[in-house]
Chains A and B, each alone.
Chain A
Amino acid sequence: MKRTRSGALLVAAALLFGACAAGASPSPAPKQGGTFVVAMPSDINRTDPALIDDATSSYVETQAMEGLVGLKPGSATEIIPILATALPTVSADALTYTFTLRAGVKFHDGTDFNADAVKFNYDRWLNIPAAYTKLEYTYYIDTVIKPNVESVTVTSPTEIAIKLKAPNSAFLLTQTLIVFAISSPTALALGKASDPDFANNTYAVGGAGAMTGTGPFKFKEWVAGDHVTLVKNADYWDKAHVAYLDGIIFKAIKDSSATLNALQAGEIDFAQTMSPIDGKTAAADPKLQVFDRGGSCNLFHLAMNQTHKPFDNPKIRQAVAYAINKQSLIDTFYAGQAVVAHNWMPPGAFGDKDVKLPGYDVAKAKALIAESLVTDLSFDFWYPSDVSRPYMPDPKGEFEALLRDLEAVGFKPNPKTATWRPDYLAAEAGGQYPMWLIGWNCDWYGPDNFLNTAFFGYRNRSDNTFGPNEEYAEKNDAMWQAMDGALKTADTAKAAAGWQQAADLLAADMPTVPLLSSKPPAPAAKYVMGFVPNPALTEYFNTVWLNKQ
């Protein structure tokens, strides 16, 4: 009897507690209105998505522009249809991608979105003025569209066929880049977006017609060096995802500590990124929250060029890999917000594989140096000044830590530094440095973007031959064949196998030492709701709302 009564009381208490718990914190309903102020680490470059190649411009223009496909909110790899009604059908020879387009969609200026508008944009990219290419404004058009796209054909007002020159397993993922968003043909013409003289182009500089797309926000103004303002598109075609916010202001605040101060003072609502140390401070502030992006789309590596001794010796390169304490770097400079690299791409990318890179082992490093029979262990070791990168927040500090690791096993590096732009980037790309710090923030979350585009892909060189790039001078024909084969197949299983084989071959050769992938913190005020973080930094603000009075 006693047990039964006690048991009944317990059940009753549990039910009562559950009811109270359920009633204590109901999810608030989204509130309409408010202006969302976002701090960006730099200003945008241009207001024409086709002519951008930087993370800030992409981030801002993602809110106003849309392409045929995009990334699913929160995912760095899952492709979803946006202005297309479904993912494309691909021909048997993997050359033709046929998209069915949404009907009834209008651009911000009222122009109809249809197959002619899509063709107009692709044709524009294929025939972009040479002056824009000479100014390096067309990086993605030059590396993605022109080498791959042969033609674009309108088969009906709501159907378009994109024909490639050769199969390309990465093509559809590249089309998620906001660079390939569809702009209004009317606005492109109004803004002289293809005028051979860039000085006449207002579309790209925030003038007439700028940033006219189909997205949930519309462009209002760009005050160069200061801010970009977008306003809500109340006529957004996706009625289920019309923005809650009235508008967004993207403010350029270069300094991370100043950004933290502005966030804590309540002047901004969200910071797109922040240094890891400042992110830790933000996490401890009860008025703030830090969104976990779950992963990252960057890689930081210790680079070596094999045309410089002693890095022509593979045992020396392996010794360098064993000499580095990667976890210590993460604990010291990233507030723990990074993962040790296990490949030359971040975890979770298509074709990713743990290639079992060397761990921290001083004895093993020393043994490899002895086996190499190399006696002159001195070399110039470079780091950049006047810069902070998401994968390298403190270049000088990290350089000093790596320097100590190398010296501890017997290397004799000579510290050298240069300003990031233009000196450091130009010199390291030209293969002038024996050892240096560098990394890559991805364009898209694919293995080709890291292994091929960023690092070891063979390319046309300054002496007009085709082969290993001058940056790393990694001559590894088997690796290149594996990568090239993976790129040129439409069979995803074969492509994955190709990338994994390439990574295995690189691990055996160790041209550079992958160190880590960092997760840039995303701090915000506590009242910011509905934000969906993404490791690839493709984040949409139409789901964001402000839970404040």
Chain B
Amino acid sequence: MTKFIVRRLLATIPVLFGLSIILFAFIHFIPGDPATAILGQHATAVRIAEMRTYLGLDRPLPEQYLKYVAGLFEGDFGTSFVNGQAVLTEFLRKFPATVELTVAAMIFAAGVGIPLGRFAARHVQRWPDGGVTIISLLGISIPVFVLGLTLQYIFAVQLHWLPASSRFEARSALELQTNFVLIDAWLMPGWSIDQKVGAFIDGVRHLILPAIALGSIPLAIITRITRASVIDVSNEDYVRTARAKGLTEKRIDGRHIMRNAWLPVVTVIGLQVGGLLAGAVITETVFAWNGVGRWVVDAIGDRDYFIVQSTILMFALIFLVVNLLVDIGYAFLNPRIRYA
């Protein structure tokens, strides 16, 4: 297993290298460039040329690429063309917000989707199965933007049950240190336990609506995959044998069905991480969530190359690591799987 992990980690290097080249080329071939973005209405041909020289954009692309990669090895991910802020610093400040949101969304999607899928599989072709199918269809059909605003309107505006936006109460005295609200609530110096618990609960309450909005599509997918996987495994011979031997349904379900049904579900969960990171863009905008998604979209519009390149590379690295963990998880779920 150790060799497998090391091999997979080493394999990420050429993957990231190849991705960086493709990304660099792709971004530079999009029409427009940072010079025109910065100059906006003041853009004239002369000013654009001056700005491109100042930003180093008139250098040959390979030279620009090598300079960028050299900077990466030194921990310099570039600076924003728009506001001059260091990309790595801003990424590290915003990334925890996106992590909290995507983890919460995945907990919601898996925490609700797996039981729903199992429930549907146990009542195949009957009305509970139909009901779960409808829920899945709704989850995948309603645009995240619409769902987000609707959730805000119902639960925040009308019912006042949950907050409408942001990561914590604006008037709170909470000061971010790690930029994970749920951790920083416990780190506030001089606060009583009550205050810390209150801040933690406030952070959780602020997470609920955006997590539901973001997790709605993965919820639908996980529900359907779980349902299909459980049905498939339930029809296997060894399950029929187990029933014939007189084992209880609970034992059959736990030891035989779910242990084998997990594999495709875990695979899908791993793949959904990429979708969640992408979907966070819209959710972060609707809920004024200060994460990376919203930042990257603005950077694409501004042709702020360093932000786009560096952030997508980091997302790719996260995606690769998550899927490595998924593969490792297979070995624990199914002892027959061995990695050389």
What 18 new A-B contacts, CB under 8 Å, besides A224-B93, A429-B42?
A: A45-B82, A134-B51, A135-B81, A205-B83, A205-B84, A224-B90, A227-B170, A249-B171, A258-B149, A267-B169, A422-B33, A422-B34, A422-B39, A425-B41, A429-B43, A429-B44, A461-B44, A462-B46
Query: Does A165 interact with chain B (Cβ within 8 Å)?
Result: no
Which residues of chain B are near A429, meaning CB under 8 Å? 40-44
A294: interface (CB < 8 Å): no
Q: Which residues in A have their C-beta under 8 angstroms from that of B81?
A: 135
Contact B301 A421 (CB under 8 A): yes
Chain A residues lying within 8 Å of B160, measured Cβ to Cβ, are 265-266
A387, closest chain B residue (CB): B301
Question: Across the interface, which residues of A come within 8 angstroms of B34, CB to CB?
Answer: 422
Pair A265/B164 contact, Cβ less than 8 Å: yes
Expressed in whole angstroms, the minimum distance between the Cβ of A291 and any Cβ of chain B is 21
Cα distance, A48 to B155, chains bound together (Å): 39
On chain B, the residues within 8 Å of A249 by CB distance are 170-171
For window 256-294 of chain B, which residues contact chain A by CB distance below 8 Å?
A: 285-288, 290, 294
Specify which chain A residues have a CB less than 8 angstroms from the CB of B169 in the assembled complex: 267
A422 touches B32 (CB 8 A): yes
In the bound assembly, the distance between CA atoms of A292 and B79 in angstroms comes to 41
Task: List residues of A (456-504) whose CB comes within 8 Å of B's CBs.
Answer: 461-462, 464, 470-471
Contacts of B37 in A (CB 8 A): 421-422
A365 adjacent to chain B (CB < 8 Å): no
**Distance, CA A37 to CA B83, complexed state (A):** 25
Which of A134, A225, A257 contacts B54, CB < 8 Å?
A134
Known: A205-B84, A421-B37, A426-B43. A261 touches B54 (CB 8 A): no
Task: State which size class the interface on B falls in.
Answer: 35 or more
Give every chain A residue within 8 A of B41 (Cβ-Cβ).
425, 428-429, 471
20 pairs, CB–CB < 8 Å, chain A vs chain B? A131-B54, A135-B54, A199-B79, A224-B83, A225-B94, A225-B294, A249-B171, A255-B285, A255-B288, A258-B148, A258-B286, A265-B152, A267-B165, A386-B301, A425-B40, A425-B41, A429-B42, A462-B44, A462-B46, A464-B46
Chain A CB within 8 A of B156 CB: yes
Q: How far is the CA of A169 from the CA of B157 in the complex (A)?
A: 50
**Residue pair B303, A422 in contact (C-beta under 8 Å):** yes
Closest A residue to B297 by beta carbon equals: A386
A254 with B171, Cβ < 8 A, contacts A261-B157, A261-B164, A262-B165 known: no
User: Contact at A225–B290, with CB atoms within 8 Å?
Assistant: yes
Q: Which of B292-326 contact A (CB under 8 A)?
A: 294-295, 301-303
Contact present for A258 and B163 (CB under 8 Å): no
Check B301 against A258 for contact (C-beta < 8 Å): no
Residues of A near B301 (CB, < 8 A) are 386, 419-422
Cα distance, A275 to B299, chains bound together (Å): 24
For residue A253, CB closer than 8 A to chain B, the reply is yes
Chain A 244-258 interface residues, beta-carbon cutoff 8 Å to B: 249, 251-255, 257-258
Closest to B79 in A: A199
Is A86 positioned at the interface, with any CB of B under 8 Å from its CB?
Answer: no
Q: B166 to A267, Cβ gap below 8 A?
A: yes
Which residues of A lie under 8 Å from residue B79 when comparing CB positions?
A: 199
B285 — which chain A residues lie within 8 A by C-beta? 254-255, 258
B28 to chain A, nearest CB (A): 14
Quick check: is A360 within 8 A (CB to CB) of the other chain?
A: no
Could you mark each residue 116-142 of chain A with 1 if its beta carbon is under 8 Å from any beta carbon of chain B, else 0? 000000000000000100111001000
Q: How far is the CA of A421 from the CA of B40 in the complex (A)?
A: 7
Q: Are A134 and B50 in contact (CB under 8 A)?
A: yes
How extensive is the interface on chain A, given as a class?
Answer: 35 or more
Q: Is B60 an interface residue (CB 8 A)?
A: no
B171 near A37 with CB under 8 A, answer yes
Which of A198, A252, A426 is B32 in contact with, Cβ under 8 Å?
Answer: A426
Q: Is B36 among interface residues, defined by CB-CB distance under 8 A? A: yes
The answer to whether A223 has its CB under 8 Å from any CB of chain B is yes
Please give the distance in Å from B116's CB to the nearest CB on chain A: 28
> Is the CB–CB distance between A205 and B85 below 8 Å?
yes
* Residue pair B43, A251 in contact (C-beta under 8 Å): no
Cβ contacts B142-158/A at 8 Å (1 or 0 each)? 00000011001100110
Does B6 lie at the interface of the complex (its beta carbon under 8 Å from any beta carbon of A)? no
List residues of chain A with CB within 8 A of the CB of B193: none
Q: Are A426 and B36 in contact (CB under 8 A)?
A: yes
A35 within 8 A of B: yes
A374→B139 CA distance, assembly (Å): 55
- In the complex, residue of chain B having the shortest beta-carbon distance to the beta carbon of A264: B157
**CA of A198 to CA of B83, assembled, Å:** 10
Most chain-B CB neighbours within 10 Å: which of A205, A268, A426?
Answer: A426
How far, in angstroms, from A464 to B39 measured CA to CA in the complex? 18
Query: Is A226 on the interface with B (CB-CB < 8 A)?
Result: yes
Contacts of B176 in A (CB 8 A): 223
Instruction: Type the 1/0 row for A408-437, where 1 means its CB is closer than 8 Å to any CB of B.
Output: 000000000001111101101110000000
- Within the complex, what minimum Cβ distance (angstroms) separates A307 from chain B? 15
A46 close to B (CB within 8 Å): yes
Q: Which chain B residues border A419 with CB–CB below 8 Å? A: 301
The 5 closest A-B pairs by CB, nearest first: A422-B37, A226-B290, A265-B156, A422-B36, A426-B36
Q: Are A223 and B171 in contact (CB under 8 A)?
A: no
Q: Which of A255, A386, A428 has the largest count of B CB atoms less than 10 A from its CB?
A: A255
Chain B residues closer than 8 Å to A265, beta-carbon distance? 152, 156-157, 160, 163-164
Contact yes or no, A426 B40, CB < 8 A: yes
A37 to B169, CA, bound (A): 10
Does any Cβ of A come within 8 Å of B187's Cβ? no
Do B38 and A261 touch (CB < 8 A)?
Answer: no
Q: Please report which residues of chain B, range 154-201, place their CB below 8 angstroms from some CB of chain A when the two chains form the complex.
A: 156-157, 160, 163-166, 169-171, 176
